[in-house]
Structure 1
Amino acid sequence: MVLVSRGLVVLAAFNAFLEFHVFLQAYGSERENAGLSFAKTFGGAGADLIAASFKLSAVLGEQATEKTRLYKFATRPLFDVKNWPMVGSRLRALQANTLVRTVGLASFVAGTVGVGLSFWEMRISLSNKDFDAATGHAIAMAGGLVFLASPLLATTLAIPGWGWAILGMAFIVGGGLYAGASKDDSFEQLLKRGPWGTHPEDMPTNRDDHAYYSQLLSLLSPIQVNVQKYADVDPDPALSHPNYAPNPQDYVITVTFPLISRMQLYRGPMCRGDLPARSFNLVVQELAYQSSNTNLVAPGSVAPVSTTQLVKSTPLTKVTARQSIPHESAVRFLVKREFDDSEYRSLFYQESVTTKVRVGIQAILDTELGPVIFPTPIYENYTVFDVSQHSSPPSKEMVIFDPYSQPDSPYWYFTEVSA
């Protein structure tokens, strides 16, 4: 039983690790799914890990001469279910203990939470017509039900109760892995709901070819931004300015995306009220982040304190001069450096200031369907372009819990890079 209980803890810990990884991804890129991922990580997988730990402590405590506090808490009797319909009679038929202890209640709560969350995710996947991911969530839900009912399934198919518990936990982990691996990405979601997709009636913009085409262009042309110091770049007169001699620490920023050399920028009348004033907009902003940490553990904490915050920034500036590199599908430009990196170290305290460059891009492409704003919000995030709201880039704001997060900016691409 000790080996079985340890196996349950290992499976539960592995499941918690997977869910935490999914939560970090959702928090960084899919904020609308971060709440559900948080609930699955700390509510579902966390509850499973706690229940498995209680079970292991109860098994180890039975073999130990001195009982620990955790063992006493895990085996504390709570109530009796021998008179409960179906449950009590089944346990009596199995000659099992009908007294519910803390470890049993924890397992029941963990199973209930896991089943509820898996059912909710399955419902979301079905509503999105993502049947592969829905199958994975259904497997995880079935595993949660098996884990929940493992005491009642003892001796069924000649499998003991602990065998059903391990089988259920394996289904939970395997279903979650399959759902994560087979989940539709943004490109698949858009294609399924396009004019030639399997569910064109579910596309919010299926009657607007212009909106659908602009989203496809955004997905087919990923943007990459790289930054180098001027001293690390081969000398090029095109990067020089007649009124400014570049400093070796200045930034040379290269923006690459296929549409630069494959499509034409819009050259029509710019006085239209439904388009930005310029066909190609590049904006930059230098940021300075301060990171501090101490080797001392504060009272009530389990780890040293570490913080990162935005301490200063330059105004968001439009780039007026750039160098085209057609053979690389890129443009590059020079940015004067205003802030310097610094570092301070002492015996118990460390502090550093690191700089990043925030780059924003917006373009108007000339297509057979007319001018298209690039990039366009994708699928569920799609919104009709509004000059009053989407033509001006948002400045970086200080956020305490996630200093590197970007403000909501439809029809703009923003990223932060460092040399």
Structure 2
Amino acid sequence: MVAADPVPSEGPSLRSLAEPIGQLSPQDWMQAEETRAVIAALSADGAPVRFVGGCVRDSVRNRPVHDIDIATPDPPERVLALLDDAGIRAIPTGLAHGTVTALIGDAHFEITTLRRDVATDGRHAQVAFTDDWVADAARRDFTINALSADPAGRIFDPFNGLADLGAGRVCFVGNPLRRIEEDTLRLLRFFRFHAFYGRGAACDPAALAACRQMAPRLADLSGERVAAELLRLLGADDPATILLVMQGVGVLAVILPEGEDITRLRQLAWLERRGLVRPDIRPDPLRRLAALLGPDPAAARAVAARLKLSGADRDRLVALAAPMVAMTPALEPAARRRALRHLGRDLVRDLVLLAWARHRIGLVHADPVDSSGWVALLDQAAAWEPVALPLRGRDLLALGVPAGPEVGIMLARLDQWWEDKDFRPTRDECLEAARRAVAGSL
């Protein structure tokens, strides 16, 4: 453990949090009945409460707010009592760190007591509760996350977060190197936040230098923590640009040395964002990870193991890295239908997008005729309905096939015959084929 940085001294970049500097426009989430009920409960004893972090940041940027975080000087035990008095269900999510979760219907609110770091070890912090809003803001990672707003919508900004947000800058609060030493995951969060809130590849120089220096420590993080940040980063509109920066400062070599195909990722992201492809195509972090890895099933297995992906995600990643069928507009219609039957519409869709992204590399411009062939593949995948041989085991038993393994073997032969006929034979035609098979003439 190392001692945490003290609160920065007053200076031109630090304002008193007692003085709001802006006003949020009316926000639906702030006016929601559930939000107002929680605020009323927490302020029942006169304590000031504020919205903090992402909900304020995203409201300023007119982005959807998904999580509502609230800060209060009251200790967690008092928070639990206030919520209980108001009849609001509360969960002691992390009392040692001052966190309580309030639940009203489907809405949930994370409520945290103001705190300051006493000591850190790169993963966890020892905290002390406080009533100092500046100290609480100073322990946050980025200036854009140190914003807060009171229930009236007045914005408090001690570290010029509004200016950074407007300029597309992601800057650490205080010394970047010290912030990363406190929690190594902040290094990955820096790049993830830049992917969503920054502009292009122009990162804060001080932050970038700290990330370069601290990159080797990423090897100490758990696979789950790395995976969570990496997959969220891959959900950005343009993840390729910031991944190139990560590659340049040695970060990608530590967390994803197999991720070399950034060009294909860029093309895939373009296809996913392009509304003319298909309206149902959306950014997919795991598909983008597959694009980044390239057609290498061994690499996909290694990455899935290192990042501790679920079994389903591992299998999907490997299937995308080792396609059973090379998807291309030149593929014959019958071969397309066979691929759809065996792989399913979702996997075929993903393989088409990955193959199309690879095809686009090096093209000066998109050929409308060429594009139409790829779109037709996606359309066919979206419209596909699973098909099954119109025979069952009981049909073969009725024809005299003895019960046992022979039934399954013959069904498999008939299924292959039916597929070779492009699924056209009717049930009656399949029954006739079964009779021939029983007689040994199929």
Tell me which interval the TM-score lies in, with the shorter structure as reference length: under 0.3
**TM superposition score normalised by structure 1:** 0.25
Greater share of helix? 2
Greater share of strand? 1
Larger relative contact order (Cα-Cα within 8 Å, sequence gap ≥ 6): 1
**TM superposition score normalised by structure 2:** 0.24
